[in-house]
Structure 1
């Protein structure tokens, strides 16, 4: 009875599986077909867009900005075509895997395969052919787009060269017709502006007022915030007689940058709100943009020259010139900016009004000649004066450079190369101003980042007074501020310089996109966004690890009464594991292939097997030292017989400089496996001892009080913990005392000991307290006779010779008698 239900269940299960397989097989094909159709439609749209862009590229009179815009659109088409090809990656892998499972078609003579297998293989092969066709179309479109991009690069190079090589005829430049054309253009320009003003005042007065007041409010907010933040670094204080170099740099940089930025914000906001409220029409908008650029250039040059030369405040002058020449240099620099800026504004007006070519040439020629004359006049200025009252010119290289550029611009303009002359003049004024501001900013950043530089600034002094920040922290903050300033200067000023040298905003946008998405070097792709993402992921993982360590130690193991040593081991192990995991995840988020790390790990394992145990031991020990930081660079440590200051901690060894200026290189494994004393581990607070002996018979209490007073009077001895004098022992020759004092910086211990010992000698002499000394056993001193004179010496020698002669004669007399005598039996 039980077999029938079981058989029925088995049959039902097979039927359900078969229906599911059929449904999946029927649903996969339409899904794949829909993917192919979708990507084919996208490619068709991209091909249509490419045809349109190619028509725009083939038009006559295409300018550089249009070429850049077309190139950006083509790069977008190429990126989308690549995405279309990559969309089939997963499906292609599935098809290939399934075809491998199905195997090849049975050869002749072999049993035929089921019809379902043949049908599935044919369907997969047909789908793969469709996918390959779409991928081939995407590749063809990408090749076509790449060719168009190369053509655009060639066209832009030709346009840039034509700016310098095109020569204009000056025969009709100063004829009466040019004057008539100028009068006509002035009338047309006046009519256009006056008609717009009457329209704006009659119908858009509220919108004009609202836009202007809003833009003015934004500029004021920026100025007020800048004054609040930068304070003394913004305005030169006349009361300061001798400002530091950093202060002068900061005032020059910020007093130029912030007002210029506020003015640019005001002008840009005004134009934006005018467009938002439909106040501007096409030609007036172009005129207003050109006028805003003209005003910004003149204002920036005037602010920079006034800040650097400071005609009215000689103490704040960044360049050491005299006041009279400083005023003339400011005027000439402003006049130069006026000429170039006004010429640029008139160039835009002439383009909008479609002025005659002769008028444009005459205007550009006059601007180039006036610029050259002003530059030569600046070189002729004698800005320096000696103590004898003799005026000296600029240095030779600077003076002759100004002469050369001025003469070159005038000569090139006279030859008819107006475009080249104006380009050089524009670079001298605008690019020169940008470079000078950037250079001053770099100097300010370097001065702030120098040791003690941030502490000398107004912000550093304020932080020291209010927050009691240590010098080390101030130096670290100064380094961070210096790096931030350098990055800001590069990000702000580099695009401006590129724009001045003929690059378009689209170029900078494309470079920024490539830098953000990734730059491929060989097989490695470096992406700014990827690196930042990896850093953010690692920081998040690091702080999560620290939080988990604290929670595990304080909430779990503390409540479980776990042993302190076990708790510390677990906490450190969790910390290492968490940091390592955060590092791996951060590396993966940054887009770095972890297989490279696997190769490195394999190489290390092989090296360990061939005898690199000590190297790896020192390497791991170095990592532990860097992670745990039992000592750091600058600490005073004692490792065995070595005592000195840590100079460098590397992954293999640690460099210690002894007090005899000897560098000792200790392997990191020795510092991990052996005891190391650190006098300045958490701080430099430490205790020193000075032993003093007092002779028996002296007043011991008076000696104790005197020693305690000496210890308390020293300026480097801390009041808390207070100094202490210990009566140590009754020694064999003296009563032994020990002065124990605490110092905020233990490295000053030798000097303090020296001072206290001298103070003990002085005070003990005043108090009539004796310090005994142990007597030494001295050899008896013999009485020396006076040194004999020459006559006495001659007599002594004569007496010695007589004595020797007498002894010799006595010996001769003894020998005959001794020769005949018998020997004594005793």
Structure 2
């Protein structure tokens, strides 16, 4: 018992200390010191004498002060919120001409004074932060202006032959200076005697680096092929990709070890040290480019689907050109960071600061840069010529995913060709810095896009490995994740094209502050909070719906339609609550959108009145439930079973297995016949006709026996036989019976008709068919025709006339009988209805 109490006491003290620590208000900045510092910075910026190093220093200092001011924005926020609630509880401020109780007015004045005092530190911090933002923006403008001037700086033309010999001589001078520096420091350090303590370390690093760059690299190159035959089909592609990364990591480790060993000798100083420091970045470009070429343009032994639809010959050509581009880029980065600092924006300030000696003149550096630009432009043009001919291969797997990447690659190739032509021309005219910027930025952009393509394929392979389904590679989830991967790469593209890290950090800070949209301030964190909270609410809603649908509602007495209605209402309410909670959590104030919503409501009302009408009708249908899922309904002349009731429309399946989408408003405004609502009982009516002369009582008795013998016909109410009357061709009867399940009405009707046919045939009751009588007004003409036939003396003519061959002109086509009441003849157009066989027909 004592231990539990002691533990609770310790925990309470810890929580109290933690709360006190986190609740501490950050110390207020020294605003007087800030004002003095800001005045000095503004004077320096106004003079225009600051170089890039000074501008970077000013920006760093001001950014630190701005962070302090930002930490003061939320000071006293809890107390300020409480005071505002207290002031609101006093009621609205009296209008002009109105009076307020003295005690209420005094209390309001006191609370407002306290509120002003608490808001003062935050307002002062906001003011100072605004001044800091102004200084930072001014610094960024000056830095961008200096960067633009550096890009457009013109050097002597490198194509002038007079520049070539000095360029070679100065390059040899650099090599000689490096050699002299190493020899001098070797002698100064005592030779091997001075390195005695570091010999094991240096020798070990150099031997390990040599092994990694030779045997280790060859081993990791062959490892994917060895693993491809042992891995399963679903895991092979992802495993090979992971192992292939060793083609970059292993040689890079070797290069870093070798550079570290040489750096540890302390033989390199101002001439050799920049070269050593530039080697790792150049090695990364070289080995990364070679790896990228192998993955983008694989050889014949590649496992899986190639990223781009190229022939084996085209892939080999593209792979070689990618390797050469990587070599040119690595040489550019190695020399730019050491002996050819012309191409970098910050290199000028570094040389002025004395960090790097002046190895080559601008004219000589331009010559060597021009050679590297020619090499890179040539292979960039060759690679773009291959990529611009990309086309989709019909019938190949994964073409849907490849379609968008083919279009992007073709677009990049179309843009890269002019760049490959423009860069050497610009360098030839002396704009070497601009040529370097545009050429190598284009190469890096193409490389980054290729890496994103490979990364998307790797994500698809990982998803296929996770679900263990070979067809899952082309599913929606890996495609969406692959597109989301593009978002983090946007800052990388910005850095490639000249943006600085400070620019990106400033853009992120501005994004965190948010942007105003219709009076509502949105920020990335607020949007992310909204999506996360709404996603959680949406998932919980579906969980609750599933629980009600599968566990709770089936145990009630509610029918299937009612259960679906309850589940749908839970979904609507849950999604609505999730949306409101997400909006509140994101700090979005929708009251500022009231004016905009009021202005848009008219247009929305006219443009979406049918949608809103269907939505409201759907809610009414779910609440009143005149129609439910599983009902047999008749609406608009269409009959079927209700399969699904959604927000906008109801899905009906007809008895022909067709799907009909009926707007919910039609189920509200139009007459709807629901055959199964409430219960499945329904009535069927089976009509039947018998020949004249039949015993009607006997017919009624037979029909009653047939109806009562049906298993689904209800006894109460009992079936009823109705003698409807005398028709033109028959005496008409009807069987009217109530069924326990109207869904089987057609089947019962069919069975009754079968039994009627069987019983009537057995009882000798005839079911007549339609008869039509034709009365002629000119029997004299028919008599003349008969006499003419007798005079001809041919029985065939008379028989033909009797069977309805073409009569003489003016006479109708009909069968002729010898007797006609009231002096006329009667002919039948279908049948003479002669049931007694006397040849005169029946009346």
Cross-structure match for 1:429: 443
Distance 2:388 2:599 in 1: 67
SS in structure 1 at match of 2:469: helix
Cross-structure match for 1:341: 330
Cα distance, 1:478 vs structure 2 = 1.6
Distance 2:626 2:769 in 1: 50
Give the alignment of 1:26-41 within 5 angstroms: 41=29
Cross-structure match for 1:415: 429
Cα distance, 1:433 vs structure 2 = 1.8
Give the aligned length.
603
Question: Do residues 167 (structure 1) and 154 (structure 2) align?
Answer: yes
Q: Which has the larger share of helix? A: 1
Distance 2:387 2:572 in 1: 67
Cross-structure match for 2:744: none
Distance 1:381 1:544 in 2: 52
Cross-structure match for 1:768: none
Cross-structure match for 1:367: 372
Question: Do residues 147 (structure 1) and 134 (structure 2) align?
Answer: yes
Structure 1 residues 625 and 199: alpha-carbon distance in aligned structure 2, compared to 1, 3 A threshold? farther
Question: Do residues 187 (structure 1) and 157 (structure 2) align?
Answer: no
Cα distance, 1:589 vs structure 2 = 0.7
Give the alignment of 1:7-156 within 5 angstroms: 41=29, 43-44=31-32, 47=35, 62-63=51-52, 71=59, 74=62, 77-78=65-66, 80-81=68-69, 84=72, 87=75, 90=79, 94=83, 137-138=124-125, 140-156=127-143
Distance 1:670 1:168 in 2: 80
Choose 71-80 or 361-370, whichever is displaced more: 71-80
Cα distance, 1:591 vs structure 2 = 2.0
Distance 2:507 2:369 in 1: 33
Work out whether residues 640 and 652 of structure 2, in 8 Å CA contact, stay in contact via their aligned partners in 1. Answer: yes
Distance 1:519 1:369 in 2: 45
Distance 2:799 2:153 in 1: 111
Distance 1:638 1:376 in 2: 69
Cross-structure match for 2:293: 305
SS in structure 2 at match of 1:525: strand
Give the alignment of 1:153-552 within 5 angstroms: 153-169=140-156, 170=158, 172=163, 174-175=165-166, 177-187=169-179, 202=200, 259-260=244-245, 263=248, 290-312=278-300, 323=312, 326-350=315-339, 353-358=356-361, 360-375=365-380, 404-438=418-452, 462-463=468-469, 478-491=475-488, 493-516=489-512, 518-541=514-537
Distance 1:516 1:646 in 2: 50
1:83-135 superposed Cα distances (whole Å, 9 cap, x missing partner): 5355366559949988999x99xxxxxxxx99xx999989996x888778756
Give the alignment of 1:622-661 within 5 angstroms: 622=618, 639-641=633-635, 642=638, 651-653=647-649
Work out whether residues 545 and 575 of structure 1, in 8 Å CA contact, stay in contact via their aligned partners in 2. Answer: yes
Cα distance, 1:432 vs structure 2 = 1.5
1:556-576 superposed Cα distances (whole Å, 9 cap, x missing partner): 999xx9865799698887776
Distance 2:147 2:251 in 1: 33
Cα distance, 1:586 vs structure 2 = 2.0
Cα distance, 1:166 vs structure 2 = 0.4
1:508-544 superposed Cα distances (whole Å, 9 cap, x missing partner): 3443444455333341222332233234334445566
Cross-structure match for 2:687: none
Work out whether residues 654 and 668 of structure 1, in 8 Å CA contact, stay in contact via their aligned partners in 2. Answer: no
Distance 2:197 2:586 in 1: 56
Cα distance, 1:258 vs structure 2 = 7.7
Distance 1:575 1:595 in 2: 26
1:416-450 superposed Cα distances (whole Å, 9 cap, x missing partner): 211112112202321122234445767999xx8xx
Cα distance, 1:151 vs structure 2 = 1.2
Cα distance, 1:485 vs structure 2 = 0.9
Structure 1 residues 577 and 49: alpha-carbon distance in aligned structure 2, compared to 1, 3 A threshold? farther
Cα distance, 1:601 vs structure 2 = 11
Distance 1:629 1:600 in 2: 36
Structure 1 residues 775 and 669: alpha-carbon distance in aligned structure 2, compared to 1, 3 A threshold? closer
Distance 1:630 1:76 in 2: 68
Choose 542-551 or 508-517, whichever is displaced more: 542-551
Distance 1:340 1:202 in 2: 34
Structure 1 residues 47 and 188: alpha-carbon distance in aligned structure 2, compared to 1, 3 A threshold? farther
Distance 1:378 1:556 in 2: 64
Distance 2:508 2:445 in 1: 21
Cα distance, 1:138 vs structure 2 = 3.6
Cα distance, 1:501 vs structure 2 = 0.4
Choose 413-422 or 597-606, whichever is displaced more: 597-606
Gaps of 5+ in 1: 1-34, 105-112, 237-250, 385-394, 449-453, 465-470, 679-724, 737-773, 798-826
Work out whether residues 80 and 119 of structure 2, in 8 Å CA contact, stay in contact via their aligned partners in 1. Answer: no
SS in structure 2 at match of 1:416: coil
Cα distance, 1:412 vs structure 2 = 1.9
1:383-408 superposed Cα distances (whole Å, 9 cap, x missing partner): 99xxxxxxxxxx99999977654443
Cross-structure match for 2:815: none
Cα distance, 1:483 vs structure 2 = 0.7
SS in structure 2 at match of 1:349: coil
Choose 725-734 or 534-543, whichever is displaced more: 725-734
SS in structure 1 at match of 2:72: helix
Cα distance, 1:652 vs structure 2 = 4.3
SS in structure 2 at match of 1:640: strand
Cα distance, 1:662 vs structure 2 = 10
Cα distance, 1:80 vs structure 2 = 4.2
Choose 504-513 or 409-418, whichever is displaced more: 504-513
Work out whether residues 630 and 642 of structure 2, in 8 Å CA contact, stay in contact via their aligned partners in 1. Answer: yes
2:754 to 722, 731, 752: 731
Structure 1 residues 73 and 234: alpha-carbon distance in aligned structure 2, compared to 1, 3 A threshold? farther
Cross-structure match for 1:585: 581
Structure 1 residues 200 and 552: alpha-carbon distance in aligned structure 2, compared to 1, 3 A threshold? farther
Cα distance, 1:500 vs structure 2 = 0.6
Distance 2:650 2:614 in 1: 10
Distance 1:579 1:79 in 2: 39
Work out whether residues 255 and 307 of structure 1, in 8 Å CA contact, stay in contact via their aligned partners in 2. Answer: no
Structure 1 residues 668 and 180: alpha-carbon distance in aligned structure 2, compared to 1, 3 A threshold? same
Distance 1:404 1:85 in 2: 51
Gaps of 5+ in 2: 1-23, 94-101, 342-354, 390-408, 677-746, 760-765, 773-794, 810-843
Distance 2:567 2:646 in 1: 25
Distance 1:435 1:631 in 2: 55
Work out whether residues 636 and 643 of structure 1, in 8 Å CA contact, stay in contact via their aligned partners in 2. Answer: no
Distance 2:321 2:575 in 1: 61
SS in structure 1 at match of 2:154: coil
Structure 1 residues 539 and 555: alpha-carbon distance in aligned structure 2, compared to 1, 3 A threshold? same
Structure 1 residues 548 and 44: alpha-carbon distance in aligned structure 2, compared to 1, 3 A threshold? farther
